[in-house]
Amino acid sequence: MIEFALVAFAAALVVAAALTPIARRVALAAGLVAAVRPGRLHTEPRACGGGLAIADTLILVIGVAWLAASWLAAESLPGWLPPRVQEHLAARTPTLVRLAVGALVFFIIGLLDDRYSLPPWPKLLLQFFAAALVVVGLGIKATIWLEAPYAAEVVSILWIVAVVNAYNMLDHADGLAAAVGVVALVALAAGQMMVGEWFVPGVALVTAGALAGFLIYNVPPARLFMGDAGSHLVGYVLASLTIVAQYYFPTLATPGCVVLVPLVVLAVPLFDAACVVVGRLARGKNPMVGDATSHLGHRMLARGAGPRTVVFVAAGLTAATGAASLMLYSADDRLPPASCCLVALTLVTVLLARRRPRTTAPPHAEEPA
């Protein structure tokens, strides 16, 4: 299983690292550029080609892996693949196709925003439409223990829109969204492998590898940005994988609280986004209009933290909630309470890191559009 995880991650990392410079040139030629404007941290135009590289990597790595595993004879497959992998793929192919269709829709919305700077409310409506298409049209919806009609559909739509926007809002400083995405996806994959799952870990690790390959060019000072195409795509992958993943296994004695894994894994971006929205509403501002003062990265930079420190802190906080999510799979009665304490401590740390500076310091990082 370790070999499977390493190959999936490393293959995507290498492909993304090779494709990202090409994607940057394509983005510049296509006019996918984050212009300098008020309320943003970056002082020079930057290409928004990261999303192109991430999307192409997912298509190439997952596509080639699926074709090879489906068409090669069973005895020709590497020994580190799961047993009966071809049967597993055949059963999961419809889910993979539905996930891919939804990913394409959200990628296109982000690409349109990168090119034409969509107004906030029309973009939100497009996101709700896309989420409804995924949930109602494609059948990707959460299993919840509620008898209310359409409850699963409503919860799933709101979850997808919330995660996509939280991740999009996290993309406000060099390297931040990519680093947090890598950690969250690896944590999700690790938890699913603990209960013997392969499909969700495979997709999650390929996406994490793609982000890691892109991160080579996105660490401060960034040479290009992920763009809304990338943040919408990765946010959708995070949201949809947490929906299709299986958590509760009575035969493994997993506790009922394991269903909280999605909230715990994504606690940092969701909590930061909630703080931003509440703060803007409290100040009488439109919660959908961005600025360069509200987010975790903004506050840390304004307090004098270096841009790479911001990335390491955010990734570390996400690693803490990722570790807490792994505790929820355990049948040991002591670990779920410990998980809750770790999440609470992490969110308190986020609040402390988000404190407003007494004096405004010059920003140290550049922010994507």
- Supply the range of the domain harboring residue 114: 2-353
Q: What is the pTM of this model?
A: 0.92
Residues pairing with 33 in the sheet:
47
- Which tokens go with 16? 């993304």
Is residue 240 one of the residues assigned to a domain? yes
Is residue 133 one of the residues assigned to a domain? yes
- Which tokens go with 12? 């995507």
Is residue 365 one of the residues assigned to a domain? no
Is residue 366 one of the residues assigned to a domain? no
Q: List, for residues 193-205, the tens digit of each pLDDT value.
A: 999 888 999 999 9
Cβ distance 293 to 360 under 8 Å? no
Minimal CA–CA distance to 182: which of 205, 155, 159, 151? 205
- The reported pLDDT for the residue numbered 364 is 44
Q: Which of 36-40, 68-72, 174-178 has the lowest mean pLDDT?
A: 36-40
Is residue 362 one of the residues assigned to a domain? no
Amino acid found at 207: T
What percentage of residues in the chain have a pLDDT greater than 70?
A: 90
Cβ distance 182 to 165 under 8 Å? no
Is residue 294 one of the residues assigned to a domain? yes
**Cα gap 74→317, rounded to integer Å:** 42
Is residue 359 one of the residues assigned to a domain? no
Q: List, for residues 18-65, the tens digit of each pLDDT value.
A: 999 999 999 999 999 987 665 566 667 889 999 999 999 999 999 998
- The reported pLDDT for the residue numbered 369 is 39
**Cα gap 28→342, rounded to integer Å:** 43
Is residue 304 one of the residues assigned to a domain? yes
Q: List, for residues 242-281, the tens digit of each pLDDT value.
A: 999 999 887 777 888 999 999 999 999 999 999 999 999 9
Minimal CA–CA distance to 271: which of 343, 362, 355? 343
Domain count, the chain: 1
